[in-house]
Structures are given as C-alpha cells and as structure tokens.
Amino acid sequence: GNSVTQMEGPVTLSEEAFLTINCTYTATGYPSLFWYVQYPGEGLQLLLKATKADDKGSNKGFEATYRKETTSFHLEKGSVQVSDSAVYFCALVPGGGGYQKVTFGTGTKLQVIP
Amino acid sequence: EPEVTQTPSHQVTQMGQEVILRCVPISNHLYFYWYRQILGQKVEFLVSFYNNEISEKSEIFDDQFSVERPDGSNFTLKIRSTKLEDSAMYFCASIKGELAGINEQFFGPGTRLTVL
C-alpha cells in the first residue's frame, strides 16, 4: 500500500536557521506529493505540491523537489521565522486520478525560537 | 476565496451518545472526504463520498459511522454511539473532481470531538 515516512520531531531551530524536514514515500506508479501545514489550533493548509518527477513546489519561502530516484520530497526553507512554528505533514495522492484519498505522514512539529 | 466550513468547532458528548458533525464543502466540488486526527497522531482517512454514495472507506469506518449529503450543500458524519477513542479532530475535505490534472483537496478547519 501507499505510505509516507517523515522525520520524527520536534525540530527546534533558532530564527533564521536553515530548515530541512525529510520525507520519503512508498507508492506504485506516479503519485502527487504535498506538504500541508497545521498552525496551532487550526486546520490543514496546503503549503506546496509537486505532481511529477523533478517538479519543485514552492510557497512562502518553502521548497520541496519531487525525487523519484530516491522516493523523497524533503521540505526546505533557507531562513525560518517564529511564525513558521507549526506541524508539517508530508502527504501523497496516488497517480491515476486526482480524486483519491490523501495518505499523510505522521507530521513533524517545528518550533522556531527567537 | 471559497472554503470548506465545519460546525461545530468543538463538540463535547457523553460516551454512547450520537453525534453529527457537519461540513459545507465548496459549492462546485463533487468529491467529499472525512479524515480524523487523534491528538498528536497522524491524519487518517475515514471515508470518501461521490455521487451520493461511499466510494471508499477505511477499517476505522465501521458500522457506528455513517455519512450523508442530505441536501445540495451539507455533508455530515454521524457517529451512532460514541466511544472514548472517538475523541479526535475530524476534518472534512472536498475536491472539484476534474478529469484532468491533480485535484487539490481543500480541508475545513476541523471539529474537535471530545467524548467523556
């Protein structure tokens, strides 16, 4: 079946530090890959997505590149801010149709300290 | 910008009681979903719904759960007899369902269900 594995958290960084959250996936075919963010007390927001190999998704300074050869979709940001403190979920939707369920990773909590 | 809405934001109930969680998906969307997130754990798929019937459900979605689209706008999740372990955040999601391209799932803000 499909699965997503994320690095365990929590991750604690100082403001302006470089962020990497690792994500690898298992899926047949060519899934679409997503990062969702959940701020404290709020719902899930789509942060970025990539739909095919070598695509780079980007938003709000965050980036992730779809690497089929390593089945990875690592999230990066060059300089984090306190406002980036949240839980980040890597997720996939199987290929072959965009209306299938989302499979989520366990989430990685990021805490940015001033 | 259109969004998925959910009510109530927080529901407290006694074990064994029935609860109905309500969602209003985005108006031109065709596929609807419920997910849940037990505190501190991953978001898990419960059920998907299309054309007035369930298209897929997970092992979690047993006979105690049901979904309904009673009118053209609401999408509800009913838990017939709540258990303590049903305490979780429940998310509704919808997608447009276009044939081509990737359909982003739009999530609601969630309903936090607390079973006492």
The whole-number average pLDDT for the span B27-48 is 91
pLDDT for res A28: 82
Interface test with A, best of B42, B89, B106 (most A CBs within 10 A): B42
Report chain A residues whose CB lies below 8 A from the CB of B30: 99
The whole-number average pLDDT for the span B28-37 is 92
A73-95 burial by CB neighbour count: b if 16+ within 10 A, else e? bbbebeebeeebbbbbbbbbbbb
A80 CA: distance to closest CA in chain B (Å): 23
pLDDT of B70 over the 90 cut? no
Higher pLDDT among residues B3 and B111, named by residue: B111
pLDDT of A104 over the 70 cut? yes
Q: What is the pLDDT of residues A34-69, one digit of tens each?
A: 999 999 878 888 999 998 899 999 999 999 999 999
CA distance B30 to B98: 9
